[in-house]
Amino acid sequence: MAEETYGHTSPNKMFGARDVYGIGYDPERAARRSVRCAIIGAGGVAQAKYLPALARLRTLWEPLELVAVAEPRNDHAHKLEHIYGGRWYADYQRMLGTEQLDAVLVLSPDALHAEHTLAALEAGLAVLVEKPFAASLSDAKRMCSRADELGLPLMCVANKRLSPPYRRARQLIADGGVHHPALYTTKFNLGYDYVDLQVLLPVDPAVDAEVAAWRTRGERIQ
């Protein structure tokens, strides 16, 4: 029987049976109370990356439970509910008001990140937001300020920071094996669809300028 694919990449092809991030089984960690999380937005990035990753973590006895998914599209929600479990909500506010949660993953379209993040923070939840953090600097500042006021964790996804090659490179630099790097180059093949996303779903130019400054000089634009 052919393997059915949801989103960009099938879960089995994405992770298979491999512990891709070297998490391993930790009895002490596995014995902790499960973190009850929910997802807002079950589009392409959720189907290709997050849901398969959450399923893989469960096979490692990671104390994490996907409780609910808020997704207005019925076709996405029903097939994902069948594969990954959790309850489906068409209305994210109803989900936040109904479920007993610890954390929320905001995987919705960029322009909705601020709305969904602020709602989750007001519900008293830790929040992980997919890149870009927000569609404008003013939204990003509001999100950070509210998280600080409420004393809640708020983080933007920095997946490469935890990727084994990057961690190894950082360790080599810290140990003195690479001395002082003068130039770093990388290449990502994201396909032509990525160009379409940049054209059709643009963010505030100030956000792009901020990202460019941070990536090239490690500085923030004031």
Domain of 48: which CATH number?
A: 3.40.50.720
Question: Cα 1 vs. chain centroid, distance in angstroms?
Answer: 31
Print the domain residue range for 204: 161-217
Predicted pLDDT of residue 203 = 53
Same domain, 79 and 110: yes
User: Does residue 207 lie in a domain region?
Assistant: yes
Same domain, 106 and 201: no
The structural domain count of the chain equals 2
**Region 123-150 average pLDDT:** 95
Same domain, 100 and 46: yes
Under 8 Å between Cβ of 53 and 37? no
User: Does residue 190 lie in a domain region?
Assistant: yes
Predicted pLDDT of residue 165 = 79
Same domain, 98 and 154: yes
The answer to whether residue 70 scores a pLDDT higher than 70 is: yes
Does the predicted TM-score (pTM) go above 0.85? no
The answer to whether residue 213 scores a pLDDT higher than 70 is: no
Same domain, 188 and 114: no
Same domain, 141 and 78: yes
User: Does residue 173 lie in a domain region?
Assistant: yes
User: Does residue 206 lie in a domain region?
Assistant: yes
**Region 113-140 average pLDDT:** 95
Q: Could you identify the residue written with the tokens 């994210």?
A: 92
Same domain, 128 and 22: yes
Percent with pLDDT over 70 in the chain: 68
User: Does residue 213 lie in a domain region?
Assistant: yes
Same domain, 199 and 91: no
Same domain, 57 and 138: yes
Instruction: Among 160, 176, 198, give the residue marking a domain's end.
Output: 160
User: Does residue 222 lie in a domain region?
Assistant: no
Predicted pLDDT of residue 200 = 46
Q: CA-to-CA distance for 8 and 193, rounded, in angstroms? A: 11
Q: How far is CA 52 from CA 12, 14, 118, 140, 171, in A?
A: 8, 7, 26, 28, 28
The closest of 77, 55, 78 to 66, measured between CA atoms, is 55
User: Does residue 5 lie in a domain region?
Assistant: no
pLDDT mean across residues, the chain? 77
**Region 38-43 average pLDDT:** 92
Q: CA-to-CA distance for 57 and 35, rounded, in angstroms? A: 12
Same domain, 122 and 165: no
Same domain, 132 and 178: no
**Region 210-215 average pLDDT:** 54
Same domain, 115 and 166: no
**Region 57-74 average pLDDT:** 83
User: Does residue 103 lie in a domain region?
Assistant: yes
